[in-house]
């Protein structure tokens, strides 16, 4: 059975303990750490790989919702709160579930099951990915994706029929793509290998554009094109 790494972020010690006990009873989960505030949790999430966060919403200094919004590539989240009025905003952030305190174990297990199903779906190979742009979710067919360009805190996906601007980092977005079909050729570009028309010197031709190829990436690109 696959185990998923999780953390707990809650400023109430009794709630921390209860959720920790529930997590311990779940063979699917591995508890990495517990935090009493969102600031410490944010610092941890920027350094460690976490699959799931059990996250209290109403906390001092930085709320749970603000924490998730501050992360460019947040993990899955199950919100926990005593205030039902936060539910709508929580689900707008694509939360797995929303648990109202005091949390019963059977309701907790339902939320975990929802996460496991969704995580399993993500791990299945597919020919498309879903991205969020302008508050909408778009389906991107991988065989139509030409290249991706970094633009500060955003990236631009250039496809055969359209372009999308997404809040993400190039390196993080590349992790979502199949490594045998895409590669980075420059600090600001990653490309689809199947879309390359030709490579000449330090430039490659895709569609109607020329893209730069850095010296540090050129040799590996040539090797991959040779097959």
Quote the CATH superfamily of domain 128-226: LytTr DNA-binding domain (2.40.50.1020)
pLDDT of residue 84: 73
pLDDT of residue 179: 83
Tens digits of per-residue pLDDT, 55-95? 999 898 999 999 998 988 899 999 998 877 665 565 567 78
- What global pTM score does this model have? 0.56
Q: Where are the domains of the chain?
A: 4-123, 128-226
Least confident of 41-50, 105-114, 119-128: 119-128
Least confident of 87-91, 111-115, 210-214: 87-91
pLDDT of residue 120: 75
Q: What is the mean pLDDT of residues 184-208?
A: 92
Q: Where are the alpha helices (DSSP H) in 52-210?
A: 64-70, 87-92, 105-123, 170-174
Q: Determine the Cα–Cα distance for residues 29 and 22; give it in Å rounded to an integer.
A: 10
Domain 4-123 has CATH 3.20.20.140: no
Provide the token pair at 24: 């311990």
Q: β-strand 128-133 against 52-56: which pairing, if any?
A: unpaired
């Amino acid at each position: 059975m696959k185990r998923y790494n999780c953390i707990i972020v809650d400023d109430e010690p009794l709630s921390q303990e209860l959720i920790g006990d529930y997590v311990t009873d779940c063979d699917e989960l591995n508890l990495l750490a517990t935090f009493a505030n969102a600031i410490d949790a944010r610092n941890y999430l920027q350094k460690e790989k976490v699959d799931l966060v059990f996250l209290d919403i109403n906390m001092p200094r930085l709320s749970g919702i603000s924490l998730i919004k501050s992360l460019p590539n947040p993990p899955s989240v199950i919100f926990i709160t005593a205030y039902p009025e936060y539910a709508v905003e929580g689900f707008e952030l694509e939360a797995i579930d929303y648990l109202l305190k005091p949390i019963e174990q059977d309701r907790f297990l339902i939320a975990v099951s929802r996460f496991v199903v969704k995580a399993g779906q993500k791990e299945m190979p597919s020919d498309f990915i879903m991205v969020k742009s302008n508050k909408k979710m778009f389906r991107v067919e991988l065989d139509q994706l030409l290249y991706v360009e970094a633009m500060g805190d955003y990236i631009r996906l250039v496809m055969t029929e359209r372009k999308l601007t997404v809040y993400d980092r190039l390196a993080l977005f590349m992790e979502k793509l199949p490594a045998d079909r895409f590669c980075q050729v420059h600090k600001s570009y990653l490309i689809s290998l199947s879309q390359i028309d030709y490579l000449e010197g330090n430039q490659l031709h895709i569609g109607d554009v020329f893209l730069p190829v850095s010296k540090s990436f050129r040799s590996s690109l040539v090797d991959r094109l040779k097959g």
